[in-house]
């Protein structure tokens, strides 16, 4: 593996997949809304940390892309964190416009999947409790 452009202390904490990538979750910094999931290698993370704009690695195109360069829907970086295992990056951003390539605000608005079994019963109980007068 070539020398990482990251600070050695940061690079040592990252646990990359076999392709040298980590998932990067983009979250609206002030509301907590989850916007999208992208992929970063060391160079993309370095660019994100040093430019203040999210840079991702496109697995399908095999190239870097800066969110908003084409669409104008920029992600201004507010903070970057690693999870406890070092295998996922959380990027808190101020999203300008849509985060999703479909034009939607978030990539996670395609509808909830139906829950079945004990999980579904627990949700029903939660709804019942929420609807009871206090």
CB atoms within 10 A of CB 71: 13
Distance CA 100, CA 35 (A): 7
Ligand-binding annotation for 69, yes or no, is no
Greatest CA separation for the chain: 62
Ligand-binding annotation for 41, yes or no, is no
Ligand-binding annotation for 54, yes or no, is no
Alpha carbon 66 to its chain's center? 14
Alpha carbon 73 to its chain's center? 15
φ/ψ of residue 26, rounded to 5? -95, 130
Ligand-binding annotation for 104, yes or no, is no
Ligand-binding annotation for 87, yes or no, is yes
Distance CA 97, CA 131 (A): 35
Ligand-binding annotation for 85, yes or no, is yes
Q: Output the known binding site.
A: 83-85, 87, 100, 107
Q: Output the known binding site for Zn(2+).
A: 84, 100, 107
Q: Output the known binding site for Mg(2+).
A: 83, 85, 87
């Amino acid at each position: 593996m070539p020398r990482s452009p990251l600070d050695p202390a940061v690079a040592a904490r990252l646990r990359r997949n076999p392709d040298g990538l980590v998932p990067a979750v983009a979250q609206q910094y002030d509301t907590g809304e989850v916007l999208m999931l992208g992929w970063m290698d060391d160079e993309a993370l370095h660019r994100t940390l040093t430019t203040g704009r999210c840079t991702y690695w496109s697995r399908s195109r095999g190239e870097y892309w800066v969110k908003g360069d084409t669409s104008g829907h920029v992600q201004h970086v507010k903070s970057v964190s690693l999870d406890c295992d070092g295998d996922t990056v959380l990027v808190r951003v101020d999203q300008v416009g849509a985060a999703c390539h479909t034009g939607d605000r978030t990539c996670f608005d395609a509808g909830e999947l139906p829950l079945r079994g004990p999980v579904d019963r627990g949700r029903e109980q939660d709804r019942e409790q929420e609807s009871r007068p206090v």
